[in-house]
A and B are shown apart, each in its own frame.
Chain A
């Protein structure tokens, strides 16, 4: 019998460690989808941030005299002190003579904010509820029944009801979009928890007397991060879309807060006469959502190949 001390790791002859995998970060930055997606998103965010600097005029300043101007048209408006200011409308003006370009860049702020906020909130709520549901059997059935209930109501209908029945505004819209998303997140988290809690290393931790809460945070929670990041991007993307749809149905965010959605919604009646009202915000919106989705796909492929979007 050889003394254990003498059996060095080298002794494990045909038993060599798995070659070290490239780190997640390196993989991410090799992924073209992630890179392009990220790039576009960042540009959009940047535009939103510097909106006050690049906007050619106050996005909600109306000018009835210069309504429905075509792109590149100029208009002048008298200020209270009688002086006249001349503005060039890169993207034309809408039916109130508001400068579409300025509205679009300010719209970037709100639209992206909505996307991020919805993603953050629904993930936050979903994570907590999901962890609880996943780990405590007795809570599980109760929570999941409620979630099933929420799931059963078609998302858009729920959103329509929430927004149009409460006072239309940024907050109510965000809530309206969050509510239907939460159960999806909860289910995702719960699924992860259920699979992880059977993992030997979690059981090992249990056996070594790790308190449940610690167990959740230390060993279970980290496993939810990857799928949640991915899910988050998809929620963010769809939130931006849903906002647009709500606006389209005439129950979105009030027009004096410009979002890509409600700029398009306002412009849609004049689609054939003045397409620019839909065209420009449309391009920005589609581009952003596209980018976020690409980012999400890329993230999924690298972080979490198993999972499939909206599944």
Chain B
């Protein structure tokens, strides 16, 4: 058949009363042709997921409801379809994969059974045939040893493998439309690359139309044929990948694209300040001991030697489980290292007890990943900021005065001090956290994935802020991230970690221009949109 597989016409989905806007999406129209990958891009709250879910008819009952327009799947309006008809379509003509494969798979059912379920619902094949078909599809998504995977439970698989199971289960009945809702966001770059590759392969081989939801322009650049940009529930721009990425028209699109950090590191001058932080053979070992039999040990970090000078930003880059956060938490002494030393201010604080530690706390502050959990919801942000200084005997007035200055510094109004965290946005909260850290006048600032949870636009601003305060206070910044682009933008030097070991360590430029270690190279290989030059438009 010709014509679009999916055509969305003036779709409007209403929000329940008392929301911050009337409709989640308003007059959204676009289409997906056979064998085409359409990326819907937008930041959180742009309504891209709502659009996807309304296609599947999976909008949360009672909360969201399509109030206008139509969604034509191969010419059939799914908005008016009966529940049973909708059920018949799901899995056969259209299917969906989700962001978090761990939670999207039923933890107590074997992977094979979960794929098999689709067949049970929609076909009347016998058990043997079904098993055959399942194994086949598992093969086609190149899962190692399908026979074994068939009886494995989701938690026994890696993130990538789980997502492959999801894809297998989505494609087992060759649907015309595959909806992928941020399918790689939760995955490490290397895995992400593989999954993206898989998706485009499958889609080519089977001529499936793909509606691909993402916030990451790297990913867009990687796989999109056409792009739809959404903001606050509206489609602001649509076109082929090249048009949109190379020559964006709408200011919002421009802003987003500008915000994407370039992979090529800015040239930075050598920092020669005094060494503020040094770790010596830092090790953290979890587990061990055990009552009857020895528990197996996990070496989260082993023999980590890093040195950060005043005014310098050291990036620790690695995938999840590489131990980069462990190192950060050891240095901040939130956890006690198993061995090795942490020299701060000519003093080894690795072994100090909580009590002995207290006077040294002020030297080193940390900003966490999740802005929503980093501030005590029950205390005004002012109280949170002054708490530290007052612990060190600063008078209340002095502390508050300082807090006001810092609020200005991080670009917030000082009057906001007596407001509560829930009244601020994620980005604003992260600014407040930075202010809180600065209030201690530290020499060392640890940013643990501090921008990972933020939308690109906000991310850029917070990165700027971090760099500014570094300069202003001549801070030694330890920047933990999984995102090479971000690292490229802000770090003087980079340490790449894998399985708790620093595999490569050097100037950002050197590491980026000619990576020594295989793992580092694989990381660059995987970086989405690496060989795509984004437009730099003012």
Contact = CB atoms under 8 A, between A and B. Distances in A.
A and B touch in the complex (CB under 8 A): yes
Interface stretch (A2-10, A239-247, A251-259, A292-300): A2-10
The 8 closest A-B pairs by CB, nearest first: A208-B388, A209-B361, A200-B368, A14-B43, A7-B411, A12-B427, A200-B374, A17-B425
B410 interface: yes
A299 to B, nearest CB: 17
A247 B358 CA distance: 55
A205 interface: yes
Interface of B: 18-20, 43-46, 231-232, 252, 255, 332-334, 354, 358-359, 361-362, 364-366, 368-370, 373-376, 378-379, 384, 387-388, 391-392, 408-413, 416, 422-428, 433, 436, 439-440, 454-455, 457-458, 461, 464-465, 467-469
A15 B457 contact: yes
A201 interface: yes
Contacts of B362: 208-209
Contacts of A207: 332-334, 361, 364-366
Contacts of A208: 361-362, 365, 387-388, 391, 436, 439-440
6 contacts: A4-B468, A7-B464, A18-B422, A204-B368, A207-B365, A209-B358
> Considering residues A8, A19, A21, A201, which has the most beta carbons from chain B within 10 angstroms of its beta carbon?
A201
A215 to B, nearest CB: 10
B255 A203 contact: no
B413 A9 contact: yes
Contacts of A2: 464
B468 to A, nearest CB: 5
Given A20-B422, A204-B368, A222-B378, A11 B373 contact: no
Given A9-B425, A200-B370, A211-B358, 16 more contacts: A1-B468, A8-B411, A9-B428, A11-B461, A13-B457, A15-B43, A16-B20, A18-B425, A201-B373, A205-B376, A207-B332, A208-B362, A209-B359, A209-B391, A210-B387, A222-B378
A12 B373 contact: no
Contacts of A8: 411
A269 interface: no
A4 B411 contact: yes
Contacts, number: 136
Nearest to B436: A204
Nearest to B429: A17
A167 interface: no
A218 B391 CA distance: 13
A34 B378 CA distance: 23
Nearest to A18: B422
Nearest to B431: A9
A205 B387 contact: yes
A206 interface: yes
Contact of A20 (B46, B413, B423): B423
Interface of A: 1-9, 11-21, 199-212, 214, 218-219, 222
B365 A9 contact: no
B465 A209 contact: no
A19 B20 contact: yes
B473 to A, nearest CB: 12
Nearest to A201: B376
Contacts of A200: 368-370, 373-374
Given A4-B464, A7-B465, A17-B425, A204 B374 contact: yes
Contact of A203 (B19, B364, B368): B368
A19 B424 CA distance: 9
Given A9-B412, A16-B20, A211 B391 contact: yes
B455 A209 contact: no
Given A4-B409, A21-B422, A207-B366, A12 B332 contact: no
Contacts of A4: 409-411, 464-465, 468-469
Contacts of B439: 208
A218 B380 CA distance: 12
Contacts of A201: 373-376, 384
Contact of A17 (B366, B424, B455): B424
Contacts of A19: 18-20
Nearest to B416: A9
A202 B333 CA distance: 13
Nearest to B256: A14
B145 to A, nearest CB: 37
Contact of B366 (A13, A14, A204): A204
Contacts of A9: 411-413, 416, 425, 428
Given A15-B457, A200-B370, A203-B334, A212 B354 contact: yes
Contacts of A199: 373
Contacts of A17: 422-425, 428
B228 to A, nearest CB: 16
A222 B364 CA distance: 27
A206 B469 CA distance: 22
A48 to B, nearest CB: 34
Contacts of A5: 408-409, 411
Contacts of B368: 200, 203-204
B454 A15 contact: yes
Nearest to A11: B461
B250 to A, nearest CB: 13
Nearest to B392: A209
B458 A12 contact: yes
Given A16-B45, A208-B440, A209-B391, A3 B468 contact: yes
Nearest to A219: B376
Contacts of B469: 4
Nearest to B368: A200
Nearest to A212: B354
> Considering residues A1, A2, A8, A13, which has the most beta carbons from chain B within 10 angstroms of its beta carbon?
A13
